[in-house]
Chain A
Amino acid sequence: MSQTQVVVSGTKSAPKLRAEHLGVVYDRDGQSMPVLEDIDLDISDGEFICLVGPSGCGKSTLLNAMAGFLSPTSGSVTIDRETVTGPDPRRILVFQERGVFPWLTVEGNIGFGLSKLPRAERERRIAHYVKTVRLEGFENSYPSDLSGGMKQRLQVARALAVNPDILFLDEPFGALDSITRVIMRGELLRIWQAERRTILFVTHDIDEAVQLADRVVVLSSRPARIKEVLTIDIAHPRNISSPRYLELRDELLKQIGLAYEI
């Protein structure tokens, strides 16, 4: 599919994903606890969205509701004008940890969602995504032999291999060390630019959000509402010491309610 350059976030083209008055209430020991309240969000095709907010505010709940793992208490999520009623291979959720199947090799994991394809096509895709996430030479390794960063790349490859429209990533680099995390951001951007999927990315890391996203959605503390949607109007590759970067970063810190100085 060709990507037209005129599509800028905020235009009136039909959204890829739309959340309308989305609300989720958890039931804990007979007490109802609202987690999400009245979330309205439009996301266009190919956009990279980061969801940030205070810890425990319901970022993951929002992601799970949009991915179909959780049915909303009120409101709805529609993708391509179709209401989301459950998980679907057209949109894959990448988990923070332990998301890859430890009983399958790297190839087995990447090919997990491809069993309906003819053998030749399956092998072609596995080879392509092994290369995309730079796991050449580890095709027959088990996840226990891989580092944390490699496991997350494997999970992304398994997700991309089924050719989904949307990737939901739930703090995918949250369990990695800070150096690996920076490298992984670069890898994800490279893959996103090559494959142009719509990405929803939950993070608690402000820098991560400003480095990656087209738009950053800031959630309030629980029950979470959308506090602010910030457009990151810096072209990739982003200079992380440019004045505009620092300005946006400060704006985000302020929105979350963090001090400038420690």
Chain B
Amino acid sequence: MRFPRWLRPALFIAALLAIWEIAVDLHPGQILPGPVSVAGGIVDLLQHGLLLKYVVASLFRVTWGFILAAVLAIPIGLALGWYRRGELAFNPLVQIFRPVSPLAWIPIAILWFGVGDLAAIFLIFVGCFFPLLLTAMSAVHNIPAVYINAGRNFGLSPSAFVSRVLYPAVIPQLLVGLRITLGVAWLVVVAAEMISVNSGLGFLIVDARNAGNRYDLVLAGMVIIGVIGLLLDIGMRSLEQIKSFRWRSLES
């Protein structure tokens, strides 16, 4: 008898939830709320209209920070990757900023943008900019010379060369970089919202604890963050499945 693919993980998660509930029932106290009360917390948030509001607020910040970073970092990275001299000039700077956690920028973000959406968007932008820049640079380096030579052979204008050879050749690697970076953005938004705003899923977690130790809501927030992160990842992966985008994985 064949089980559907989703059945095995679903059963496994159900078993874990059951163990969790039983363990919490055996040791009532402050360690952790059980899954039932977490589910109750989610329902609570839904009834107050907060869940949708906070999810939209967080996604709004991620979208802006991520898109701004992509729009700036990808063309700059492609150009730096193509013109080796530019890369030689900029690379040391990039390498110094890259290992600085986006969270280290929080004071600067507050100084420049005050407490609010802009500061959070800026932090996401910083967190996404450097990974995307490096992805774009290495994507250009990895274009097989054959494609570049073939492109040159057919007498394309520079703009046609970019749109018909360079861009399609780097797309598979860019998509992988964008997917990983979107995950980073989602990590950063939660941290940013704990400090500098009064809405969003990060705010929910801090607020639930501050406003009366509602740990069921803290865990509800964590579960929702995880589920949305997973959905974002699935969305990006489905982009990678488009055939003219995923040629690299098909080439043996």
Contacts and interface: CB of A to CB of B under 8 A. Distances in A.
Please say whether chains A and B are actual partners in one complex: yes
A225 B157 CA distance: 36
B129 to A, nearest CB: 27
B27 interface: no
Given A88-B155, A89-B155, A113-B154, A95 B146 contact: yes
Nearest to A144: B250
Contacts of B144: 98
Interface in A87-112: 87-89, 92-93, 95, 97-99, 101-104, 112
Contacts of A143: 247, 251
A162 B251 contact: no
Interface string B141-174: 0001011011011110000100011001101000
Contacts of A92: 153-154
A142 interface: yes
A144 B169 contact: no
A93 B247 contact: no
A115 interface: yes
Nearest to A168: B153
B244 interface: yes
A102 B153 contact: no
A87 B149 contact: yes
Contacts, number: 60
Contacts of A97: 146
Interface of B is mostly: helix
Interface residues of A, number: 23
A102 B165 CA distance: 11
A93 B150 CA distance: 8
B162 to A, nearest CB: 14
B160 A142 contact: no
B171 A103 contact: yes
A115 B160 CA distance: 10
Interface string A71-98: 0000000000000001111001101011
Task: Give the size range of B's interface with the partner.
Answer: 20 to 34
Nearest to B144: A98
Contacts of A93: 149-150, 153
B5 interface: no
A103 B165 CA distance: 9
Given A97-B146, A101-B168, A103-B168, A89 B153 contact: yes
Given A93-B153, A112-B154, A115-B160, A103 B247 contact: yes
B251 A95 contact: no
Interface in B210-252: 243-245, 247-248, 250-251
Contacts of B149: 69, 87, 93, 95
A98 B247 contact: no
Nearest to A159: B153
Interface string A196-214: 0000000000000000000
Contacts of B165: 101
Nearest to B150: A99
A162 B244 CA distance: 23
Contacts of B168: 101, 103-104
Nearest to B160: A115
A89 to B, nearest CB: 4
A87 B149 CA distance: 9
B135 to A, nearest CB: 18
A144 B244 CA distance: 11
29 contacts: A67-B153, A87-B149, A87-B152, A87-B155, A88-B155, A89-B154, A89-B155, A92-B153, A92-B154, A93-B150, A95-B146, A95-B150, A98-B147, A99-B150, A101-B147, A101-B150, A101-B165, A103-B169, A103-B171, A103-B244, A103-B245, A103-B247, A104-B168, A112-B154, A113-B155, A115-B160, A142-B244, A142-B250, A162-B154
Interface of B: 144, 146-147, 149-150, 152-155, 160, 164-165, 168-169, 171, 243-245, 247-248, 250-251
Interface of A: 67, 69, 86-89, 92-93, 95, 97-99, 101-104, 112-113, 115, 142-144, 162
Given A98-B251, A99-B146, A113-B154, 18 more contacts: A87-B152, A92-B153, A92-B154, A93-B150, A101-B147, A102-B247, A102-B250, A102-B251, A103-B168, A103-B169, A103-B247, A112-B154, A142-B244, A142-B247, A142-B250, A143-B251, A144-B247, A144-B251
